[in-house]
Structure formats: structure tokens, C-alpha cells
Chains A and B, each alone.
Chain A
């Protein structure tokens, strides 16, 4: 039975106060505390912290913000020091191995999603574990995944990826092996396989969605999503003729980056400001969005603005397609917009904002399932209601 559901972000915040006590031994620095001093954001006229979720997002999407610059510089210096594969051995040397470090190393690969990085890091945990019994190993794994999750509580895909990994790896016949070593190698094998599946998910999705892009269509895209990018790239490679409308994606201008990439592929692109969605919806044939997380109702949690685009598209009877890997399926069930752990981000308005004025800094919104048409996942093309079925089968 599912007792520790990811749905309890609010509860988990309370639990987090408990976790450091035991996770400190495993992970030397509480990472969120080291990352906050790193980014003294000059644009912030209030002392609001930027959520870790948003930091990784900014890093991945190459959105140039001041804090990201500082971070990337820092990362670059570290990346030189440790190569990609060295960590595996590095972990064995002494007691220095830490999931967070491992995770951070994987995370630096620009094309690797956060969840996949986490999955890889957890696989490394099994590999480096010095546990003698299955139980010990499981506890160790659990601790590692908990510390990973608490590293960034706002990231849905990270939490979901860790949970799914635990389910996928531990719920196996391997646990019945008498011989610990063979069981362990089986676990490792399974972990690798899961990492591989997750890694390939994007390609599968791109292939699945090709049937839906027809010649001469106009696609509206919101924000920058690597899956959507992959889909469009493959469509362009397949010599499909289509046009893309990109929203600007304020405040991090992720839409600009997508437009940039698409222009390189010779796909006709048009940029819109975020408020021009309804204006252009007439000429749009389909809306394509990614997702930060797919929740149990079949709805998605995605970058701010997705909900209103879906609403406009729904009212104009345009299909809304979501491209999301299955490791983003989370045991969450938001009932409304405020029902999630908020992921905050700073917003640069260009002019100083008077201190009396409040700013909505939430980075994402929840789109209910009735406004979505289909979800392209590596499990297949699903209707929103199937998501819950898949989740039940994955978790229960």
C-alpha cells in the first residue's frame, strides 16, 4: 500500500526537518543551503529564495540569468576537476561517495533530464554500496533517494523518478535470491535498464508523435521542452512541412531559445508574446507542450501559462498534446492551482517594483485533464484518464 505518497509535498516539508538528521551523515553539505548563498540575485528586491527546481531548469535550458551565470561558472570549474565517468571509481575511494555529488555530476550533461540523472545516481548507489544484506542495501537506497528528493522538493520529476526507480528496482524477484551477490548484480542490471529506458524515452516519444504532425500544420509551442524539441526535430528530419509559433516564455524567455533552435533546423518560426496566444489561436492546428510532471488525474504541471493556453485551445476546439516521459508520472493529485508545493522564481520586470506591490512568483501551473487531448509518453499515446491506470499499476 502506498503510504509515503509523493502527493504529500506539504507533509514532506514537515518531514524534511527530520531528514537532515540522518542524511547529514551520508551527504556532507546540505546542498540547498550551499546553493542559496551562491546566488545573491541583484534583481531581487525582496529576499525571496529561488526554488531549486527553477535553478536546475534554468541551468538546463541555458537561460541566461545572472544567478545562472554564477552557478555555471562554479559548475564549470568543478566539471573540469571531475570527468564524466570518473565518479564511479571516485565513489569507492573512501567514504566520500555521496548521492548528491553523483547526481550533480550526472546533471551537468545538458541533455540529461534531472530524473534520469537521479536514476543514474541511484544506480551508482547500488554499485558502490558496501551493504552485506539485501535489507541493508534497500535501506541505503531508500536513504539515498530520500536525500535526493529532499535536495529539491519542488521538482516533481525528481521525486517521481526516485519513487519509480525504487518501485522498479526493488519490486523484483531479485529480492528472493538467496545469494546476495547475484541479487545485487540483478538489481544493478535492473537499475541500468531503467536508466536506459528513461534515457531513450525522448526518442520513443518523438517517434510516436510523428503521426500527429501533418504537412502544412501550424503548431503552437509554449516554453522550452526538450521532448517537444526532439519531436519537432524529428518531424523536420522527416521532411514534414510545418510552422511553429513560439511563445516568448516570460520571464526566462525559454521560448526564445526554442525559436533559436528551430531556426537552425530551417523550420519557419514565429515568436509571440505570451499574451498573444488567444489572438493567434485561430491559425493554430495543435498545441504542443512538455510537462514538469504528469499527475494522477491525468492533468499536467508545467511552466506558467500552460493552463491558459490549454483553456484557449479548448474553447477553440484545438487539440492540446503533451509530450512527457513516463518518469514524470507522479503520485500527486492537485485539486486546484494552489494545491501544489510552489516553485518560486524571480521575475525581472525591468523596472524597480515598489515594495508594496506583490509579485506572483510561482513558476508553474496545473492544467486539469479535461483540457488535454492526448499525452505522448514512452508507454504509448495515452488519454489523460489512462495516466492514473498506469500509475496504479506502477505503484500498487
Chain B
């Protein structure tokens, strides 16, 4: 064993200097250190030989910054003997940024969760004055370096004094342990190995979680067993991430509590297995994942369509924590009855309005905190139904900041009234009035004799066309549509009824029809701060063809849909639709070549919902602040993003 290890110690640093670790060499180690019963692993590891006890589970390797970092966050939470349920309720995610500390935990515990990175940073700050947190494991194993003799690797070799400090700061117990281990440490542990052990532990943990929570009683037992010292904290820290720890504790809590803290990050990577699992456990909808997913888009959530609805319906009476209005809106999202950025946003805000109206603060809680948590749980439900759009994200951020702003002295009814009017004002100013201003601006760009092309169905563009028609301008409209949604048909119907002369075609004919077009009007789901227009899939194609024909492309978008994010392609953030809808042709039962496609291993269908149009192809963005070039989007975001936009 020793010989093997030492030989690997020579090789390892060479192989794994950078970032990620391949799992190839891990299995032997795993079998060694992975105990059969994952829950009982700590005591086992404790009892085993010093060589094995190097695992970070038991004894924190003293000169291992990451371990002490990981441990630190744990210790306070465990140091509080009664880990009361309320301490875990914190909403993770993007929208909680500006609304800090959603729940009312004791300050130390609040530091524990919240957000992983900040916690780590605090830990680092407290233990190492020099910082250096989150150093990749490959470079932070000084113990293996002397053995291997590869000095090039030991970039972040910590001076012993510091590591001593780190160990000492945690507990006295650790130091004595370390004294035991210090000799073998030098020779035997390669960092890869320790890493492997860590991985194993993590896997074990995940397994434990998946296996159904063995209730904290068991864990407590394990803890008690392992607690040979006065302080249980060093033993318990088993390499898991902070989130995992809180997860474990969250197991016995009510579903509602659980959901509150886990509003998934809007841009969560769904190819991260453990997170997805976590998410699944908490989500209400319980979707079944689609098969044969396209490799490049694995990070996006994709579920079998049509399976969620019945599940959700059957659960109606169990979801008593959910307000019926929110529930209704969620169902409408799910079934596709409400689509379009503005419509979805307004529906959501109105549902929240109702929810707030029926809300009453539970005893011993403050409105601003409890309501924020409540809203977060609603939002996570809505995300389960369909991923949020940028417009909704901005609206939620607005609402949360409004809630946070409510002075504590305000009575509940007053606070509710304020919020109600705030939401009302947001809808009026940011959506309805904004649209009116956009229409006013855009109409000036329509001249007699124009041929206007639009793609899909945008509410703003529809208003513009109707208003221009009411003004008596003589123009023609070309509506370009695409499978599978055929949203243009509805727009066509409404415009024709108003008496506009229209042409309807599919996107396949775009290069033909573009010859006669003089202006292209497009809607947008969002405009990002590099001027990229994020819109219905196919928009980029239309814009590019128009650019090729030197036809100006006008994008109509309310300023509340602007986002400070930058996106260069449509891959990193997108939404996947139902693949079945592109395999089937409605009305043509005989076209069934793709029937049963999901049984074929080598066929993957991709139905994207959005795409990103680079700003080069956009001549002009019409927003409620006037007509601006796409290069000026960051100015609007900067000037009005915080101050005026969310008033």
C-alpha cells in the first residue's frame, strides 16, 4: 500500500495540476476508504489505521486550507446545540441578493448558509490572514510535495506557522490528532488520494441522502458515537459542501421550509447531477426527465412534457402552502395558456398581489422577512412550472426590494396596501405606459408605402402596427411564422380583423420575402447589456437576413426587460421546449417518420425556445427611454437599473 502510494505521489502532481480531476485513478482508493455504510463512515474512519484516518472526514489535515475552510462553516452551526429549524430557512439564488437574511436565524448561523462563497470567504478570513481560499486541491497539498520532489507544483505551499494556526483555531482536539498523523502524512498522503477520499465521502453522503433521509436521529447517533471529544464539530465535517450540510438538516423539516431556501438559481446548470437531485427532491411538480437529450444543451432543464400537469392537479390539496392564485398562474404557464414576456410578468404580479392580500403574518415573525420567504417559495414553484423570463426576474427583484424596504413600524394592513400599490405601479409604469411610449416612438418610423416585416407575435409590435393603422398610415405587413408554435397566426388574425393588409409566410421563405420589405420590427424577451437581443427562436435568423439585405431592424422592448448580463450565444442560457412538438406535424397523421423517436439511441431532438441576436444585426432598439442604438443599452441599465427603474 505504501509503495503504491508513494509511486503515485510522484506521478500525481504532474497529472493533476489543473482544475478538474478525472475519476480514473480513484476507484482503488475509493474501495479502500469507502466504508460499506455511508452513515457510519466517520467512526469507522476514526478507528482505522492512521493511513486511512487521513481522510478529511475524521481529522482535518492540518495544512489543507480548503478543509479548514470547509470545516469552519460547520462548526458554528454545530456549536449551537439546538439547531432550530428556522436557522436553515434562507433563500438561495439570484433574487435573494438584495434581500439579505430572509429568515431570522442567529447571526452565526446566518453566516453559515446564505451563500456558499461568502461563507467560505468568511471562514478564510477568520483563519488565514493571508486569504487563499478555494485554492484548487491540486496545489494545496504540501505534504506530498517533499515526497515527490516536484517543487514546481508547490506553488501555494503554506508556511507551517499558518497551518498550525489554522489547526489551532479550530479546536484543541484537532491538534492532538494531527500530532498523531503528522509523521505518516508526510510520506503517505498524496493529495489525489485525499481528494479521492473526499469524493468518496461526498458520494456516500449523496447516497445517504438519496436513500431517504435516515432522520437526524441516526446522524445524531453517528455523531455521538464519533464524538470522542468534547467538540463534535471536527468529526462531523466530512468534506461536504456547506449546502449539503444544511441539506441534511433540512431533511426533517416541512416541505414548505425546504422549498423556501432553494429557489434554484435562474441559470442553474442542470448537468450537475447532485444539484438536480437536490432540486428534484424539493420540487412540487416532479417532472420526469426527457430522454435522448442533446449533449450541448444538457445544462438546461428538460422534462417530458405533459407529465407534470396531472401530477400537479392531483397534488392540489396537498399544496396548502401555495396560494391558489399562484397555483393557477403556475398551471397556466405549464400548459402554455399564458406566454409572452409581458403577459407572464403581469399574470405573476397579479397573482402575487392576491397572495399578498390574503397574507397574514404568522405570530412571532416580521412581515418583511416572512413575506420574502413566502414569495421565494412561490417563485420556486413557478420556476418548476416554467423557467423564469428575464422580465419576471426583474419584477421579482423589484417586489423583493419593495418588501425589504417596508419599515418595521408599518402596520400589516398598511404594508400590504403599500405593496399592492407598488405592484400596481410597476405594472402600469413599466409595462403599460412603457408600451405606449414605445408605440409613440415606433410609429414615427413607419412611412406611407412601407412594408413591415415582423416575426412571431410580439405584443409591442402588434400595438405599433395597430396604432399606425389607426393613424391612417398606408403600409403592408408581412408576418413571418415558424413551427411548432405558430404564434404568428394569432397575430395575423387580429391584424386582418382590424383591416390591415397582411402577408403570412413561414421562416423558410424569409430570404425571398425580404426583397420587398422596408422595415423589420421585432419583439424581444430580453435585451442584454452587450446589446444582444434575446428573443423567440428564429429572430436571429430574421435579423441576419434583414441585415444582409440592408434593411433596418427595429427591436421593441420595454426597459424593464433589460438585463445587465452578457451573453454571447444561445447555448449557455436558453429554454428547451417539448421535442415531441417538432417531431409531429399537426393535421398530417401520415407524417409519422419520427414516431417513437425516443426509443432510438442515436437520435436527439432539439427544440429551443429562445435565441440570441448579436447587436451587429440590430439597427435600433425602441424602449420607453426613447430610441437608442444597441450600444447604449448598458447606459440605460446603469442609469436606471437601480435608481429609477425599480423606483
Contact = CB atoms under 8 A, between A and B. Distances in A.
Interface in A296-343: 296-298, 331, 333, 335-336, 338-339
Interface stretch (A101-109, A157-165, A388-396): A388-396
A335 B626 contact: no
Given A1-B437, A333-B620, A392-B635, A296 B552 contact: no
Contacts of B554: 335
A385 B631 contact: yes
A82 B126 CA distance: 81
B519 A297 contact: no
B606 interface: no
Given A336-B552, A388-B635, A392-B635, A1 B625 contact: yes
A339 B554 CA distance: 14
Interface of A is mostly: loop
A396 B627 contact: no
Contact of B629 (A331, A388, A395): A388
Interface string A1-23: 11101011011000000000000
A335 B551 CA distance: 9
Interface string A248-260: 0000000000000
Contacts of A1: 437, 624-625
A369 interface: yes
A392 B444 contact: no
Contacts of B445: 335, 339
Contact of A396 (B619, B620, B626, B629): B626
Given A7-B444, A8-B444, A389 B632 contact: yes
A155 B628 CA distance: 22
Nearest to B622: A333
Nearest to B638: A389
Contacts of A296: 626-629
Given A335-B619, A392-B639, A5 B441 contact: yes
Task: Classify chain A's interface size.
Answer: 20 to 34
Contacts of B632: 385, 388-389, 392
Contacts of A331: 626
Interface string B608-637: 000000000001100011111101100110
Interface string B144-187: 00000000000000000000000000000000000000000000
A37 B20 CA distance: 83
B183 to A, nearest CB: 65
Given A333-B620, A335-B619, A336-B552, A393 B639 contact: yes
Contacts of B629: 296-298, 333, 369, 385, 388
Contact of A7 (B437, B625, B627, B636): B627
Contacts of B628: 296, 388, 392
Contacts of A297: 619-620, 629
B631 A392 contact: no
Contacts of A2: 625-626
Contacts of A336: 552
Interface string B429-447: 0000000010011001101
A333 B635 CA distance: 17
A390 to B, nearest CB: 9
Contacts of A3: 437, 440
A7 B620 CA distance: 13
B558 to A, nearest CB: 13
Nearest to B433: A1
A392 B636 contact: yes
Interface in A347-396: 369, 385, 388-389, 392-393, 395-396
A228 B449 CA distance: 39
A385 B554 CA distance: 17
A10 B625 contact: no
Contacts of B437: 1, 3
A388 to B, nearest CB: 4
Nearest to A368: B619
A189 to B, nearest CB: 27
Contact of B627 (A11, A333, A338): A333
B635 A389 contact: yes
Nearest to B440: A3
Contacts of A5: 441, 626
Contacts of B552: 335-336
B354 to A, nearest CB: 30
Contacts of A7: 441, 444, 626-627
A146 B190 CA distance: 81
From B444, B519, B626, B636, residue with most partner A Cβ within 10 Å: B626
A11 to B, nearest CB: 6
B631 A388 contact: yes
Given A10-B444, A389-B632, A335 B620 contact: yes
A11 B620 contact: no
Contact of B444 (A11, A393, A396): A11
B559 to A, nearest CB: 11
Nearest to B445: A335
Nearest to B636: A392
B233 to A, nearest CB: 53
A2 B444 CA distance: 14
B322 to A, nearest CB: 38
Contacts of B447: 10, 338
Contacts of A388: 628-629, 631-632, 635
From B519, B629, B636, residue with most partner A Cβ within 10 Å: B629
Interface string B33-57: 0000000000000000000000000
A392 B554 CA distance: 19
A7 B441 CA distance: 9
Nearest to B635: A389
A41 B75 CA distance: 93
A311 B358 CA distance: 64
Contacts of B444: 7-8, 10-11
20 contacts: A1-B624, A7-B626, A10-B444, A10-B447, A296-B626, A296-B627, A296-B628, A296-B629, A298-B629, A331-B626, A335-B620, A385-B629, A388-B629, A388-B631, A388-B635, A392-B625, A392-B626, A392-B635, A393-B639, A396-B626
Interface of A: 1-3, 5, 7-8, 10-11, 296-298, 331, 333, 335-336, 338-339, 369, 385, 388-389, 392-393, 395-396
Given A297-B619, A335-B620, A388-B632, 4 more contacts: A8-B444, A333-B629, A335-B554, A396-B625
- Chain A to chain B: the 9 pairs with minimum beta-carbon distance, closest first: A385-B631, A335-B552, A388-B632, A333-B627, A389-B635, A297-B629, A8-B444, A2-B626, A392-B635
